[in-house]
Amino acid sequence: MVSKRLIYIQTGLFALFGCILLYLSFKQVDFTEVLSIIKSGNNLVIMPVLITSILVYYIRVKRWQLLFETIKINAPTNYLFASLATGYLVNFAIPRLGEVSRALILKQSLNYEMNKSLSTILFERLADMLCLVIIILAAFLLAFLNESSLLNSFTKGVVVLTPVRLAILTCVLLGAYILYQQLKNKSNSAVQWVVQLIQSTQTLLKMENKWMFFAYTVMIWVGFYLMTYLWFFMFKESSSLSAKDAFFVMVLGVVARTLPIQAGSAGAYHFVVSQALLFLGVNLATGNALAIIIHGFQTILTLGFGFSAYLWLLNKKQSQNA
């Protein structure tokens, strides 16, 4: 009961945080002007962004399928796509719950073991987290080479890594390893389930098509980049920004999206992107218009694919029971 209460409190606090950031983003904005800017935008940009977004969905499914092949499961593309899209929809409402829902859908639809499905999802998340760290480090390297960069403005006075933080991280990792070694010999069913999950995740490191997994991962992140950069050509003022500017905006946007805030980190994403564009010389109204369009378009895709996938799964279940 206490854990549920804590989850509700955490969810409520992050929702409040998102609302505050939304207020800070739009408190000085003339929405009539923003709407006028959006209407004047180049709508031809929408099609390449849509194609890129669909391709990213598909590539994520193919990468996930590759992980299932490693543990000798021939997972069908249609169910994986439906599970992924529904998981994104759940994450949109309750952050972090989408990953569990993906495994539950495969359990109910295809009778896959929960820990095996979760191990593939955990492996995916770890791979993407590693990519995010590499991309952030690359962004800081570019920022170091250019003292007046956007990232320097956002992180001024912030010390990311200190000896104390490094020592704490080392202790946490060491403690987690010792705990895992001790749990391996426990007979408790819940403990054994967790151990099997970890072991299944470790098995994925032995996949035969490592380079294909790497290629899929690179394509996904290139897609994420294009889903920011292509929108710059929506408006004349932002079209003059460079590919490097788009990279920095993408990095800040992705970091904002990692926050467990409902509706795809609404508020945090708008605030970070609009302020980043303001630093790059784009006026606040255009920056907010661009943030609204980027976030809004992905929201429409998430809701559209998510509800369509849910209805498809529901129809499949009803036809199987008939």
Q: What is the 3-state secondary structure (H, E, C) of the chain?
A: CHHHHHHHHHHHHHHHHHHHHHHHHHCCCCHHHHHHHHHCCCHHHHHHHHHHHHHHHHHHHHHHHHHHHHCCCCCCHHHHHHHHHHHHHHHHHCCCHHHHHHHHHHHHHHCCCHHHHHHHHHHHHHHHHHHHHHHHHHHHHHHHHCCCCHHHHHCCCCCCCCHHHHHHHHHHHHHHHHHHHHHCCCCCHHHHHHHHHHHHHHHHHHCCCHHHHHHHHHHHHHHHHHHHHHHHHHCHHHHCCCHHHHHHHHHHHHHHHCCCCHHHHCCHHHHHHHHHHHHCCCCHHHHHHHHHHHHHHHHHHHHHHHHHHHHHHHHHHHHHHC
pLDDT of residue 143: 72
CA proximity to 232, closest of 219, 223, 242: 242
Least confident interval from 43-47, 56-60, 151-155, 298-302: 151-155
Is 3 part of any domain? no
**Widest distance between CA atoms in the chain:** 66
Write out pLDDT tens, residues 82-122: 999 999 999 888 877 888 899 999 999 999 988 888 889 98
Q: Range with the lowest mean pLDDT among 140-154, 204-218, 301-315?
A: 140-154
Q: State the average pLDDT over residues 155-162.
A: 51
Residue 18 within any structural domain of the chain: no
Q: Could you tell me if residue 63 is left (phi over 0), alpha (psi between -120 and 50 degrees) or otherwise beta? A: alpha
Closest CA to 223 of 26, 99, 21, 50: 50
Q: Is residue 15 part of a domain?
A: no
**Per-residue pLDDT at 42 exceeds 80:** yes
Average pLDDT over residues 213-232: 95
Does position 256 have pLDDT exceeding 90, yes or no? no
267 — pLDDT class (breaks 50, 70, 90): confident
Residue 304 included in any domain: yes
What pLDDT, on a 0 to 100 scale, did the predictor assign at position 4? Answer: 58
Cβ-Cβ contacts under 8 Å for 52 (sequence gap 6 or more):
223, 226, 227, 230
**What is the pLDDT at residue 198?**
66
Evaluate whether residue 303 is within a structural domain. yes
Rounded Cα distance, 98 and 80, in Å: 13
CA pair distance 9, 199, nearest whole angstrom = 33
Distance from C-alpha of 306 to C-alpha of 292, rounded to nearest angstrom: 20
**How many CB atoms neighbour CB 166 within 10 A?**
10
pLDDT value of residue 114 = 87
What domain range is 275 assigned to?
Answer: 30-321
Domain count, the chain: 1
Answer whether residue 222 is part of any domain.
yes
Q: Which residue has the higher pLDDT, 322 or 58?
A: 58
- The answer as to whether 182 is a domain residue is yes
* Contact by Cβ (8 Å): 94, 11: yes
What pLDDT was estimated at residue 208? 82
- Residue 17 in domain: no
Q: Higher pLDDT residue, 19 or 180?
A: 19
CA atoms within 13 A on the CB side of 290: 33
Q: Name the most confidently modeled range: 91-100, 121-130, 153-162.
A: 121-130
